[in-house]
Amino acid sequence: DTARAAGDDRSRGQVMADTLIERLTGTPGGITGVQIQLVMTDRTLLRADAEPARLPGYGTIPAEPARAIALAGGPAAANPLAGPSGMEELDLWVRRLYTVPGSGELVAMDSTARLFPAGLKRFLQVRDDTCRTPYCDAPIRHHDHITAWHTGGPTSVNNGQGLCEACNHTKETPGWTAQTIQGQRHIVATTTPTGHTYHSTAPP
């Protein structure tokens, strides 16, 4: 009521909800640690190349706005996103991803842990973008061992795939099998209970 009387134009319910979240998280607005990932080639970032970038969770965006977002930590004059939005205060991190010349396959080191460590999860999310089940483009929620861990499947980039929750639960039911097969890029062959096999290739 005090906030509303002082001219806050949120509804009483909104003020109550926001206050609750702020009290619980100790953070104004309750938002902390938001990370925007933007995947682009070094040519697009540094050499004014026109190759588009990918904004995970959104899709493909042209090179020019991608560079503008990447520059959001830079001088306001060069940055259309700076200003009242507060984006000029962004911390910018560059994470290098290595691909095989020619095939474009994304490569990284293996891990022996059963649970996918954070770095490997992030890698699978960047490589796969959406659920790897053919014709399903739901957001990635689970990081799956293509060959199950309990049958000897390693925790690795090659044996890992991003799946949505529904597809991962389905894959664990009887009659479903999956394996990684050799190809130019990362390919998963999924066989359904009817015996049909479908191939899913990681996006370029």
- Under the binding rule (CB under 5 A), the answer on residue 181 touching Zn ion is no
- Under the binding rule (CB under 5 A), the answer on residue 72 touching Zn ion is no
Residue among 38, 167, 188, 202 that touches Zn ion (CB under 5 A): 167
Region of residue 59 (left: phi > 0; alpha: psi -120 to 50; beta: else): left
Q: 39 to each of 36, 79, 100, 188, how far by Cα in Å?
A: 10, 19, 16, 22
The pair of three-digit structure tokens given for residue 96, joined into one six-digit string? 């290098």
Residue among 164, 178, 188, 202 that touches Zn ion (CB under 5 A): 164
Residue among 44, 125, 133, 180 that touches Zn ion (CB under 5 A): 133
Judged by beta carbon, residue 155 or residue 161, the one nearer Zn ion is 161
User: Shortest gap between Cβ of 134 and Zn ion (angstroms)?
Assistant: 9
Q: Per DSSP, what are the bridge partners of residue 198?
A: 190
Nearest to 145 by CA among 173, 116, 125: 116
Per-residue x/- mask for Zn ion, residues 138 to 157, rule CB under 5 A? x-------------------
User: Shortest gap between Cβ of 128 and Zn ion (angstroms)?
Assistant: 11
Max Cα–Cα distance, the chain, nearest Å: 67
User: Shortest gap between Cβ of 131 and Zn ion (angstroms)?
Assistant: 3
DSSP state of 178: E
Nearest to 143 by CA among 124, 158, 169, 167: 124
Residue among 71, 136, 148, 189 that touches Zn ion (CB under 5 A): 136
- Under the binding rule (CB under 5 A), the answer on residue 66 touching Zn ion is no
Stretch that binds Zn ion, among 87-95, 102-110, 120-128, 163-171 (CB under 5 A): 163-171
Nearest to 189 by CA among 170, 165, 169, 161: 161
The pair of three-digit structure tokens given for residue 85, joined into one six-digit string? 């939005």
**Which of positions 19-58 make contact with Zn ion (CB under 5 A)?**
none
Binding residues (CB under 5 A) for Zn ion: these are: 131, 133, 136, 138, 164, 167
